[in-house]
Structure 1
Amino acid sequence: MTTETLPAETAPAPRRHRRWPWVLVAVLVLLAVALVVADIAFRAYAEGEAATQIEEQLPENVDGDVDVSIAGFSFLAQVAAGRLGEVTLDAPALTVSGIPIAAHVVATGVPTDLTKPVEDIRASISLDQSAVDAVVTLPGDAQLALGDGDVSYEGSVEVLGLSVGYRVTGQVSASGTDVVITPQDAELTQGGNSLDLGGLLEGVAGQPITVCVASYLPQGVTVDSLDVADGGATATASARDFVVDEQSLRTLGTCS
């Protein structure tokens, strides 16, 4: 009887692990991170450079610091397309001819070539009582006071040799380059108590007062609204197809 020796089980050959797909993934991840870092770096540089240029191009009567932020997922992609989707400018402590204001500006469709016009600009400008006093000049010696949702102004007139003081309360609105104060009510504040001055009060309270503010705005910028609250005023202004260069920013409007 013969005994056959069975061949030993052949051991499997060692497998070679394919590492290249993981290496490729790692390279792609590193590349993506590098692009994000580069995008952030170039965006920060562009924001700082834009702020510097805008400050240098401000009209001679305007002074203050401007912060610039550029929105959008990829700054480099926007630059390659030649247009930035949205740029925001914040200037919380500007002075215009010595008048303190705070400005917040949002521009959309901003070309990287600033010799071309920006599609749309929306601005919010906040003024306190002292700024309004400097900008709005009423006829005579009247002084405008900001209330909560309305305005009032006081003045005096001569009636039969007497100085008669009055106060008018009204609403304020804005359109184009004009601010309009529409009187709603009037009352005497001093003198004339023994006189019938109903006709005088009707005359004082019956005529809207229009104040032109074009000389405080770059030509082509218009005022859309003016809101009064808590002793302050906030104006919204806009411009379409506006070229943001030194000449445009320094060319102010005029009042007829």
Structure 2
Amino acid sequence: MTTETLPIEPAPAPRHRRRWPWVLVGVVVLLAVLVVVADVAFRAYAENEAATQIEQQLPENVDGDVDVSIAGFSFLTQVAAGRLGEVTLDAPALSVSGIPIAAHVVATGVPTDLTKPVDDVRASVSLDQSAVDAVVTLPGDATLALGDGDVSYEGSVDVLGLTVGYRVTGQVSASGTDVVITPQGAELTRGDSALDLGGLLEGVAGDPVTVCVAQYLPQGVTVDSLDIASGGATATVSARDFVVDEQSLRTLGTCS
């Protein structure tokens, strides 16, 4: 009896999965993470460096810390284009000639080369009553008080040989580098009583009072609006095609 030996077939070779697509995806993700990390790091460095440079270039009469933040998805792309879309500056505790103010600045179209002009700069500057008293000088011995949407100022006047006090209420407007107080009503004060000035308003406080604030602003910066609230005032100022360098920041306007 003959026994036939059947041929032994080799075992099939193990199939190797194609891993390279997953490796490629991993590399791409890793590169994306590195780009984001680099973007964040360079953005933070640029913000800190910009804050330092701005603080060093402030006018001699201005002192305080400035925080800088740069908006936009990719900081490195903006740098490569040579222009930052939006830069925000916050200085909540500045001192201008000893006057305390808070400033919030938004600049758009900011060139990375600061010898070139910024497209648009808009800022809000907040002052409390003591700061307003230092900035606004009224004729005679009048003193200014900030109300809720309006202002009033008090002083004294000679009437028929008697020195009596008066109070004038008015509205405030701002344009260019001037703040204008337009009287709306007046009363003559005498102890606890008050007499309506009536026709004497024109002679006592009928003319608008104009206060120039150019000497507190860099040349080329103008006041757009002024909002009054009890105990404080907020001015909105702006400038176009403004070069943010040491010379521009330290060159203040003048009043004629």
TM-score by length of 2: 0.93
Deviation digits for residues 98-134 of structure 1 (CA, Å, limit 9, x no counterpart):
0000000000000000000000000000000000000
Structure 2 Cα separation of the partners of residues 197 and 20 of structure 1? 92
For residue 20 of structure 1, report the CA deviation from its aligned partner. 1.1
Q: Contact 2:64–2:93 (CA<8 Å) still a contact in 1?
A: yes
Q: Secondary structure at the match of 1:37?
A: helix
User: Which residue does 1:122 correspond to in 2?
Assistant: 122
**Paired residues, number:** 254
Q: Contact 2:83–2:111 (CA<8 Å) still a contact in 1?
A: yes
TM-score by length of 1: 0.93
Deviation digits for residues 195-221 of structure 1 (CA, Å, limit 9, x no counterpart):
995443232342111100000000000
The 1:20–1:196 alpha-carbon spacing in structure 2 relative to 1, beyond 3 Å, is closer
Equivalent AA in structure 2 for residue 190 of structure 1 = R
Q: Secondary structure at the match of 2:223?
A: strand
Equivalent AA in structure 1 for residue 122 of structure 2 = R
Deviation digits for residues 122-147 of structure 1 (CA, Å, limit 9, x no counterpart):
00000000000000101111101000
For residue 160 of structure 1, report the CA deviation from its aligned partner. 2.5
User: Which residue does 2:50 correspond to in 1?
Assistant: 50
User: Which residue does 1:25 correspond to in 2?
Assistant: 25
Q: Contact 2:116–2:243 (CA<8 Å) still a contact in 1?
A: yes
Equivalent AA in structure 1 for residue 88 of structure 2 = T
Query: Is 1:138 matched up with 2:138?
Result: yes
For residue 7 of structure 1, report the CA deviation from its aligned partner. 7.6
Q: Contact 1:224–1:237 (CA<8 Å) still a contact in 2?
A: yes
User: Which residue does 1:224 correspond to in 2?
Assistant: 224
Q: Contact 1:156–1:166 (CA<8 Å) still a contact in 2?
A: yes
User: Which residue does 2:92 correspond to in 1?
Assistant: 92
**Mean CA deviation greater in 231-240 or 8-17:** 8-17
Deviation digits for residues 65-88 of structure 1 (CA, Å, limit 9, x no counterpart):
000000000000000000000000
Q: Contact 2:188–2:196 (CA<8 Å) still a contact in 1?
A: no
For residue 15 of structure 1, report the CA deviation from its aligned partner. 1.2
Q: Contact 1:127–1:234 (CA<8 Å) still a contact in 2?
A: yes
Query: Is 1:14 matched up with 2:28?
Result: no
Q: Secondary structure at the match of 1:218?
A: coil
Percentage identity across paired residues of the two chains: 89
User: Which residue does 1:252 correspond to in 2?
Assistant: 252
Q: Contact 2:186–2:197 (CA<8 Å) still a contact in 1?
A: no
User: Which residue does 1:239 correspond to in 2?
Assistant: 239
Question: Can you give the 5+ residue segments of structure 2 that lack an aligned partner in the other structure?
Answer: none
Equivalent AA in structure 2 for residue 179 of structure 1 = V
Structure 1 Cα separation of the partners of residues 228 and 124 of structure 2? 13
Q: Contact 2:103–2:124 (CA<8 Å) still a contact in 1?
A: yes
User: Which residue does 2:200 correspond to in 1?
Assistant: 200
Structure 2 Cα separation of the partners of residues 117 and 248 of structure 1? 10
Q: Contact 2:177–2:213 (CA<8 Å) still a contact in 1?
A: yes
For residue 159 of structure 1, report the CA deviation from its aligned partner. 2.0
Q: Secondary structure at the match of 2:89?
A: strand
Equivalent AA in structure 2 for residue 13 of structure 1 = A
For residue 6 of structure 1, report the CA deviation from its aligned partner. 8.8
Equivalent AA in structure 2 for residue 202 of structure 1 = E
Q: Contact 1:184–1:205 (CA<8 Å) still a contact in 2?
A: no
Describe how 1:41-190 pairs up with structure 2 within 5 A: 41-190=41-190
Q: Secondary structure at the match of 1:43?
A: helix
Question: Can you give the 5+ residue segments of structure 1 that lack an aligned partner in the other structure?
Answer: none
The 1:165–1:86 alpha-carbon spacing in structure 2 relative to 1, beyond 3 Å, is same
Q: Contact 2:175–2:225 (CA<8 Å) still a contact in 1?
A: yes
